[in-house]
Every structure is written in C-alpha cells, then in structure tokens.
Amino acid sequence: MNQDEMKQAVAREAIRYVEEGTVVGVGTGSTANFFIDELAKMKFDIKGAVASSEATAARLQKHGIPVLDLNAVDEMPVYIDGADEANRHLHLVKGGGGALTREKIVAQVARRFICIADASKLVETLGTFPLPIEVIPMARSYVARELVRLGGRPELRQGFTTDNGNVILDVHGLAITEPAKLEATLNNLPGVVTNGLFALRPADALLLGTPEGVKVIE
Ligand code: 5RP
C-alpha cells in the first residue's frame, strides 16, 4: 500500500463514525479530501458539514454536500481530520495546510475528534514537523523573538495568508516533550491566534493507515 492508499483506507474507515441525520465536522488536507470523497458516496444523508477551511468548503460544495455555519450548529457528534504528527497519547501537530485555527475551533465543538492519518505520521516525540503558529501580522517579529527564546527557529511561511487574514510562523527545532504545557504557553503570547499543538483537546481516536490495514489507537 502506498501513502495515498493508506490515507484512502482510513478515510473509508472514518465513515463508520458518521451518524445519519447529523452534522459532521470536516478537516483540511489530502487525507481529509479523501474523507470528503467518501462522504459524497455515503448511502445515507447527513444534515450537512462544518468546514475547517475555505478549501474544504469548496470541495464539499462541489460534491453537493451542504456547508453549514458553525454558529448555526448546536450539536456535532464527530469531527474528522488529518494530522502532520501524532503521538501515542493522541496529541497532534496540525496546520501543515495552514487551517489550524478553524480546525481547533471545530475540534473543540465536536463531541468526538477522530484523527485519520497514514503510518508515517505516528512519532515518539512531536516536533520534527515544524510547529505552525498563526500570528496577527503586526505581532510577527515580536512572536518570532519569543519563539527563539523558547528554543525554536521560526520561519515565516512565504507567500501564505490564512483564511483569517493572518501569517504562519513554522517553528523548527522544538522537541515537544510537554505538548499541553507548550500549547498553553504559546497561546499566551499576545498576537498568537493559535498554535498547531492539539494536546489540551487531543484526538479521541487515531485511525492509522498501515501496510497491514487500519489500526485504531484510543
Ligand atoms: C491542515 C492540517 C492537515 O490535517 C495536516 O496538514 C495533514 O495533511 P495531510 O492529510 O495532507 O497529510 O492540519 O491544516
């Protein structure tokens, strides 16, 4: 199985978590795109989907799946999304696609967060993948200096603006041994909108695509 086949396998498996007649939260990225394609093939109807990015909204709409405003949604049983890194405690690094803030909001609202990823995403310690941080543009230099003080090497993501009109700093060189603590510390820096650590609200289950099939880590 190649990487795309593993992503497709977990996307197919994630459909089991979708409940008829409800609202589904949908993430962003290539694995989430496979999930959207599976949603479109489903035999039963859902009320609609909440998208974690403009790109995801466009793909959902292309398939004829109603896209709902999160403010109009009371209940969301499940949110399905990929990750850039995951550890065995289901702490994640996300935001490689730059959608981390909306992803974190939708994950927080959902009753269950099911992460779908291929086997390459499972790591012992988070931080090899540069940690994305969404920053209000005027705070970019200040936040970058603080990140250096914390031991990281921030790099501005060139030519990229988030769906919220902000910039992304990708932070290299962090060995993230205490993900929840670092998540809170980073979120306390004025100018940081959010960071790509999902540890305070980790995933509830990780569906991992491996050459031997889909493994569920809970
Ligand atoms: C986007 C994300 C994605 O979930 C993450 O980048 C994984 O992407 P892919 O499924 O393409 O490997 O956090 O902001």
**pLDDT given for residue 42 in this prediction:** 85
Model confidence pLDDT, tens digit, residues 2-34: 999 999 999 999 999 999 999 999 999 999 999
- Mean pLDDT on 37-52: 92
Is the CB of residue 94 less than 8 Å from the CB of residue 199?
A: no
**Pocket test residue of 5, 30, 85 for ligand 1, highest count of atoms within 8 A of CB:** 30
Model confidence pLDDT, tens digit, residues 92-142: 999 999 999 999 999 999 999 999 999 999 999 999 999 999 999 999 999
**C-alpha span between 98 and 112 (Å, rounded):** 22
Nearest to residue 206, comparing CAs of 50, 88, 99?
88
**Pocket test residue of 8, 52, 84, 92 for ligand 1, highest count of atoms within 8 A of CB:** 84
**C-alpha span between 22 and 6 (Å, rounded):** 27
**DSSP state letter for 138:** G
3-class DSSP state for residue 44? coil
- Mean pLDDT on 165-178: 95
Residue 48: is it exposed, middle or buried by C-beta count within 10 angstroms (0-12/13-18/19+)?
A: middle
